[in-house]
Structure 1
Amino acid sequence: QRQSQGKSAPNSPSRQIESTYHRKVRTCLQELRAVTETWEDLVLLDGLKSLKKLVDTRTDLDNELAQTPNRLPREHIVAPKLAIMDECLANLDAVISKLQKQFRRLNSLVETLETVLVEAHKAKGWQWVHEEPLWVTWSLEKFVVSTADIVVPYHRALNFHIKIVDTLRSHSTPFEESKNALRQWVAQPWLQEDGWEAIWEDICEAEVESMTL
C-alpha cells in the first residue's frame, strides 16, 4: 500500500516536473473556487439586499395600512410600496439567473476535469492517473471523482433559492414565513457541510501546490 507523502517530500517526480495535466487541474480548481465565491456574493450581498428590502417594504405597507382608517383612500400608500416590491422581485429574479449561470459554469468545469482525466489516461496510462500522486497524496482520478460531488449540493442550493423567491413572490406572504425565508436564504443549508468552503479549501491547502488566485 502506498504511503502518504508529506507536502514537503522532495523526490516526488510530479513535484519536480509539472505536466499540462497538473496545470489544467489547478486552473480548474481555481476557477471552481472563483465560481463559488461569486455565488456567495450573489446570495449574501445582492440577493440578501433585495430580499431584506422586499420583506421590510411589505412589513411597512402592512403597518401603514393597519393604521389607515378604512374610509380613506389607500392607493397613495399602496402604489409606491408595490413598485418597490416589484423591483425587489425583479432583482431577485436577476440574482437567480446569475446563480444559474454560475451553476452551469461549475458543471462545465467538472466536465473539463473529466476530459483531463480521459486525456491523461490515454497519454500517461492507467497507473499514472489512478495511483500516482498529482502533488501530495491525491491522484488525478481522485481529484476528478471528488470534484464531481460538488455539483449536487450547489444544484440543491440553486433550487432552494428559486423556491424561496417563489414563496415570496406573493405580496400576501405572511410575515413569519417571510422572516423564515430570509433566514434560510442566508443559511444556505445545502452548502453548510458540502459547499466549496466547507470541504475544498482544506483539501486544496493540503493537496495542491501553488493553489492561489
Structure 2
Amino acid sequence: MSSRLASFKGPSTPTSSPVQQRQANSSAPPSPARIVESTYHRKLRTLLQELRSTTETWDDIVLIDGLKAAKSLVDTRTELDNSLARTPNRLPRTRIVGPTLEAMDQRISELDIVLMKLQKQFRKMNTIVESLDALVIEAHKNKGWQWVEKEPLWTTWPLEKFGSGYVVSRVPEILVPYHRALSGHIALVNILKSHSISFDESRDAILKWAEQPWLEEHGWDAGWEDLCSVEIDRWNR
C-alpha cells in the first residue's frame, strides 16, 4: 500500500527547467477544494463508507461475539473433562454432565447466531457492490464514457476504477476474501461443535478464528482504507 500511495505524490527529484515544472503543474488534477461535487461523487463516497462500516461490523462480530462464544465453549468443555477426571466412578455423574452439556449447547447456539450475522453482513456487502455497479452504469448513460473512465473524481481515480468494469483494484474484488473468510468461520464452528475435539485442536481453531487469514492482506483495512483516504475528499467526515 505504501508503494501505491507513493505514486500520488508526484516527482521526487527537482527539475532543472522552471518552464517544464509549470507545465507539469498545469496538468495536475484540481484540488478537492476546487471540485464541485456531483451526485455521483456523493453517492460513491456514501457507498464506500457504508462498505467500510459493514466490514467494521464484521470484525466486531468475529472478534467480540464469536471469539467470546468460542472461548466459552472450549472452557466449559475443558471444565467438564477436568470434573469428570476428579469424580469417582461410583458417584452419579448426571449432576455434572447435564448442566454442563446444556451450557455447551448454548455456546454452540451462539456460534450459529454469529454465523448468521456474518452471512447478513456479507449480503450487505453484495448489495453495496451491486449499487456501485449501478452507479457506474447510470453515469455512463448520463455523463458519457469519457467522464466515467477518464475524468478524475477528486484526486486521480475516475469513477470507473472503483467499479467492476476496471481491470485492477476494483472494489467488487473485496467480496472474494470475505466470502473465503465466511467459509472458513463456518468450517471452524463445525470443528468446535464436536465434543470429541482435543484441547489442542480447539486452541488452534480459536487462533485461526481470530486471525482471519484471508482478510489480513485483502480485507478492507489492508486494501482500501488508506487508498480511499487519499482518493476521496472528506473521507473521514
Sort the TM-score into its range (normalised by shorter chain).
over 0.9
Structure 1 vs Structure 2 CA RMSD = 1.8
Note if 1:46 corresponds to 2:65.
yes
Question: For residue 227 of structure 2, what is the aligned residue in structure 1?
Answer: 203
Gaps of 5+ in 1: none
Closer/same/farther in 2, CA of residues 61 and 121 from structure 1, 3 Å limit: same
Residue-by-residue CA offset, 1:22-53 (whole Å, 9 max, x unaligned): 11110000000100000000000011111110
Question: For residue 103 of structure 1, what is the aligned residue in structure 2?
Answer: 122
SS in 2 for 1:210: coil
* AA at the equivalent of 1:144: G
Shift of 1:5: 6.7
**Separation of aligned partners in 2, 1:139 and 1:203:** 13
Residue-by-residue CA offset, 1:82-119 (whole Å, 9 max, x unaligned): 11111111111111001000000001000100000000
**Separation of aligned partners in 2, 1:184 and 1:10:** 44
Closer/same/farther in 2, CA of residues 67 and 13 from structure 1, 3 Å limit: closer
Question: For residue 208 of structure 2, what is the aligned residue in structure 1?
Answer: 184
Q: Which has the larger radius of gyration?
A: 2
Question: For residue 136 of structure 1, what is the aligned residue in structure 2?
Answer: 155
**Separation of aligned partners in 1, 2:215 and 2:95:** 43
Q: TM-score, normalised by structure 2?
A: 0.84
Gaps of 5+ in 2: 1-6, 11-27, 165-169
**Separation of aligned partners in 2, 1:101 and 1:15:** 39
Residue-by-residue CA offset, 1:3-24 (whole Å, 9 max, x unaligned): x7769x6736995211111111
Residue-by-residue CA offset, 1:168-189 (whole Å, 9 max, x unaligned): 1121111111110000000000
Task: Give the percent of matched residue pairs that are identical in Structure 1 and Structure 2.
Answer: 59
**Separation of aligned partners in 1, 2:8 and 2:71:** 49
Question: For residue 155 of structure 1, what is the aligned residue in structure 2?
Answer: 179
Closer/same/farther in 2, CA of residues 13 and 158 from structure 1, 3 Å limit: closer
* AA at the equivalent of 1:190: W
* AA at the equivalent of 1:114: D
* AA at the equivalent of 2:61: L
Residue 86 of structure 1, aligned match among 105, 119, 124:
105
**Separation of aligned partners in 2, 1:13 and 1:97:** 41
- Return 177-186 or 63-72, whichever deviates more: 63-72
**Separation of aligned partners in 2, 1:194 and 1:10:** 29
Residue 35 of structure 1, aligned match among 49, 54, 58:
54
**Separation of aligned partners in 1, 2:154 and 2:32:** 9
Q: TM-score, normalised by structure 1?
A: 0.93
**Separation of aligned partners in 2, 1:27 and 1:151:** 18
**Separation of aligned partners in 1, 2:158 and 2:131:** 16
Residue 86 of structure 2, aligned match among 40, 47, 67:
67
**Separation of aligned partners in 2, 1:13 and 1:198:** 24
Higher RCO (CA-CA < 8 Å; seq separation 6+): 1
